[in-house]
Amino acid sequence: MKSLKYILILISSAIFAQNWTLQKSLDYALKNHSLIKQSILEVQKSDRNIAIAKGNLLPSVNAGINHNYSFGSTIDPSTNSRKTLNTQYDQFRISMPVELFNWKNYGEISLSKLNKESSEYRLKSAQNDISLNVIQQFFQYQYDKAWLEVLQTQISGIEEQIKRTEKEVEIGNRPKSDIYDIKANLGTIKEQWISAQNQKELSRIILQNAIGLLDDKIDFVLNEENPENVLINNEDFVQKLLEKNPLYQNAIKQNEIASKSIELAKSDYYPRLSGMYQWSTFFSKELGKEAAFQFSEQFKQNKNNYVSFGLDVPIFNRFQTKNRVELAKLSEENTSLEKDKIVLELTKNLKTIEIQYRNAQEKYNALEENFENQKLSFQKSEEKYKEGMMDAYTFFMVRNSWLQANYNLIKSRYDLMLQSELVKVYLKD
């Protein structure tokens, strides 16, 4: 049996080149998961949107060249009189239009900053979602692995029991029916072991998917340490977690965005002041003839500077601004309702986490206290079986109950560690 165990360890080491703890799994997921990367890109896009909004306050500078031909009656640009000419006309210009005051530009800057804050909250929320999912799948894998080990221990024990019972049957201390009962139970346990093996592999695949990992040569192990005690005795524990939660903070920010969107829609009611500066010059000549003045001379002589200011006052725009304002108000009401829904859902989830943590703590303490009694009961039954005072089937049931008690204690311990890790995710915000 020891050699078989050694072989299994070697096979396991060959299959799984690395062992990852919960913390390493979380670190990898929070750095490499595609959902996290997408959320980071959204934050970076928000930075660019702020830069675009601020850029609207700056003037734009444009340069242009026009090359034209005119045939027939036209204005001679050199004399400014109408003649019948075939001419070439080239214009060079640099223009700089600028919006001196447009309230909408300032509103878009404020709105883009709010959108960036919202994207940062969404990033934190995505990190929480990934962490919670990885933690739950990590412990599910540990549950399934522990159950498989319990079944393997049962199978090994039954096989040893069969050998011992066969010897006792040979010397007449046991009826042969005991062997049949034990082998029948062995077959049932092996069926459970096959199902448990499949469930364990399925849990590992789901965990890898939660982490965003493609490498199959990694196993996941739990640090054998005592469950961490999380203080949740405050009466306003849930309320504090709610206020710190990025989903809640993003809902508040969305309300601010909706209010700012109303202001932005109203900005179309306000007048806009714009200005423009343009520098230009030109060169012209009659086709087929030499120019009266050379290009360089005309370029200098025909220079022109142009400055203009314009004030646009909205008077009537087919009720488009009014309807956009009303639409923004409806969006604000809808955002407020969405916030209420998020608060209700978050409150439910946080209260559930609190209750589950307390229940897991109480259950683990109760099982831990009763464990020694169950251990003594099994040892007593084992003595009775060896002395012939208990039949094989009854001892088999007692032994399975003892192994189940071991598993229940391990599972309860894992469950307390799971709930502790889930609470810590919410606390870290």
pLDDT tens track for 24-79: 999 999 999 999 999 999 999 999 999 999 999 999 999 999 998 888 877 766 67
* Reported pTM: 0.80
Contact indicator for 32, 130 with CB cutoff of 8 Å: no
- In this prediction, residues 269-282 reach a mean pLDDT of 94
Rounded to whole angstroms, how far apart are CA atoms 424 and 419?
Answer: 9
| Shared-domain flag, residues 76 and 154 | no
| Shared-domain flag, residues 359 and 415 | yes
**More confident call, 319 vs 405:** 319
Instruction: Please state, for a pLDDT cut of 90, what percent of the chain lies above it.
Output: 48
Residue 394's alpha-carbon distances to 350, 381, 391, in angstroms, are 45, 9, 6
The C-alpha angle with vertex 80 and arms to 77 and 86, in degrees rounded to 5, equals 50
Q: How many residues are given for the chain?
A: 429
> Model confidence at 88, in pLDDT bands (50, 70, 90)?
confident
Rounded to whole angstroms, how far apart are CA atoms 395 and 161?
Answer: 10
Place of tokens 């923004």: 328
Rounded to whole angstroms, how far apart are CA atoms 178 and 388?
Answer: 12
Contact indicator for 207, 221 with CB cutoff of 8 Å: no
> Model confidence at 115, in pLDDT bands (50, 70, 90)?
very high
Each residue of 227-265: pLDDT tens digit?
666 666 666 778 888 888 999 999 999 999 999 999 999
Task: Give the CATH number, domain containing residue 34.
Answer: 1.20.1600.10
Rounded to whole angstroms, how far apart are CA atoms 33 and 50?
Answer: 27
| Shared-domain flag, residues 26 and 108 | yes
Domain termination site, one of 286, 313, 340: 313
| Positions of E strands within 293-394 | 304-312
**HSE-up of 179 (CA within 13 Å, CB side)?**
14
Domain that holds residue 401: 2-56+102-270+315-427
Q: Is the pLDDT of residue 199 over 70?
A: yes
232 Cβ neighbours under 8 A, 6+ residues apart: 354, 357, 358, 423
Q: Under DSSP, is residue 221 helix (H, G, I), strand (E, B) or coil? A: coil
Contact indicator for 282, 67 with CB cutoff of 8 Å: no
Rounded to whole angstroms, how far apart are CA atoms 178 and 396?
Answer: 10
Rounded to whole angstroms, how far apart are CA atoms 394 and 396?
Answer: 5
> Model confidence at 384, in pLDDT bands (50, 70, 90)?
confident
| Shared-domain flag, residues 208 and 143 | yes
| Shared-domain flag, residues 93 and 139 | no
Handedness of CA 332, 334, 340, 346 (dihedral sign): negative
| Shared-domain flag, residues 239 and 285 | no
| Shared-domain flag, residues 342 and 322 | yes
| Shared-domain flag, residues 141 and 86 | no
Domain termination site, one of 262, 295, 313: 313
Rounded to whole angstroms, how far apart are CA atoms 34 and 212?
Answer: 7
| Shared-domain flag, residues 136 and 160 | yes
Q: Is the pLDDT of residue 292 over 90?
A: no
Q: What is the DSSP letter of 78?
A: T
Each residue of 129-151: pLDDT tens digit?
999 999 999 999 999 998 899 88
> Model confidence at 403, in pLDDT bands (50, 70, 90)?
confident
Buried b (16+ CB within 10 A) or exposed e, 39-65: beebeeebeebbeebeeeeeeeeeeee
| Shared-domain flag, residues 249 and 127 | yes
- The predicted pLDDT at position 231 comes to 62
Report the 10 Å Cβ neighbour count for 411: 20
Amino acid making up residue 237: F
- The predicted pLDDT at position 108 comes to 94
- In this prediction, residues 190-207 reach a mean pLDDT of 93
Whose CA is closest to 349, among 38, 37, 136?
Answer: 136
| Shared-domain flag, residues 195 and 209 | yes
Q: Is the pLDDT of residue 399 over 90?
A: no
Q: Is the pLDDT of residue 11 over 60?
A: no
| Shared-domain flag, residues 347 and 365 | yes
Residue 291's alpha-carbon distances to 88, 286, 332, 363, in angstroms, are 10, 7, 67, 103
**More confident call, 87 vs 111:** 111
Q: Is the pLDDT of residue 14 over 50?
A: no
Domain termination site, one of 251, 284, 313: 313
**Mean pLDDT in the chain?**
86
- 289 is written with which tokens? 């003839």
Q: How many domains does the chain have?
A: 2
